[in-house]
Copies of this chain bind each other. A is one copy, B any other.
Amino acid sequence: MRASRPRLGFWHELASTYSYLSAMRIEALAHAAGVDIVWKPFVLGPIFHAQGWSTSPFNIYPAKGRYMVREMQRLTAERGLPFKMPSPFPQNSLYAARLALIGHDEGWGPAFTRAVYTAQFAHGANISDKRVLGDILDGLGVDRPALLARIEPPELKERLRQRTEEAEELGIFGAPSFLARDELYWGDDRLEQAIAHLQNG
């Protein structure tokens, strides 16, 4: 029997700039390394609230926010990715995260996730707008009206709530974070280290 492939938990927030960076490269890196990705969309809002923040630390601490924008400009330029800060920032990512949960059940999650990041950070679109999300669903060839009708029900809200609790229990405090067996890695710049940890295990 063939040994199972190592699995990398990819904890991402759909409104997070640095999660965008990872989402656009994680599949190529994981494929090259023989690693499977476990897509874990979650929302940072409740985790930030629990530590007394009412918005992103990039808004609360302006020097940090300015640095993040400049660094995103540098890193996206290096990687040949478009970049535009959406307004407002951060976007409300609840609908997008709930649709992503369905998408990962149904096989279109990774493409949906990349499309959400691209709409938001390449075109500055508002991802809390159901029309924006609907257009993304159309682009994937999935059933837009049926899916948009599914984003309010309590069971999906509850799944996302549990996912976010799970993130807190794992010690996650920012996004993206990567879980490689029991080791947690925070930040797009740690993606290679997380993969290397799985390969050396």
Please report A residues at the B interface, Cβ cutoff 8 Å: 51, 60-61, 63-64, 66-67, 70-71, 74, 168, 171-174, 183-184, 186, 189, 193
As for how many copies of this chain the complex holds, the number is 2
A98 to chain B, nearest CB (A): 25
State whether A173 touches B64 (Cβ < 8 A). Answer: yes
State whether A172 touches B63 (Cβ < 8 A). Answer: yes
Q: Can you list 6 A-B contacts with CB-CB less than 8 angstroms, sorted by A residue number?
A: A63-B171, A63-B173, A64-B174, A66-B171, A71-B186, A74-B183
Per a CB cutoff under 8 Å, which of B63, B74, B171, B189 touches A189? B189
A120 to chain B, nearest CB (A): 24
The SS class assigned to the A binding surface is: helix
Extra inter-chain contacts (9) besides given A51-B60, A63-B173, A67-B171, CB under 8 Å: A61-B173, A63-B172, A64-B174, A66-B171, A67-B173, A67-B186, A71-B186, A74-B183, A189-B189
A45 to chain B, nearest CB (A): 16
Per a CB cutoff under 8 Å, which of B70, B168, B173, B189 touches A184? B70
A43 to chain B, nearest CB (A): 16
Instruction: With CB as the reference atom, state the residue of chain B lying closest to A197.
Output: B74
Instruction: With CB as the reference atom, state the residue of chain B lying closest to A184.
Output: B67
A68 to chain B, nearest CB (A): 10
Complex alpha-carbon distance, A93 and B185, angstroms: 29
- Residues on B with beta carbons closer than 8 Å to the beta carbon of A171: 63, 66-67
Instruction: With CB as the reference atom, state the residue of chain B lying closest to A63.
Output: B173
Instruction: With CB as the reference atom, state the residue of chain B lying closest to A60.
Output: B51
Complex alpha-carbon distance, A74 and B194, angstroms: 11
The 5 closest A-B pairs by CB, nearest first: A63-B173, A63-B171, A64-B173, A189-B189, A51-B61
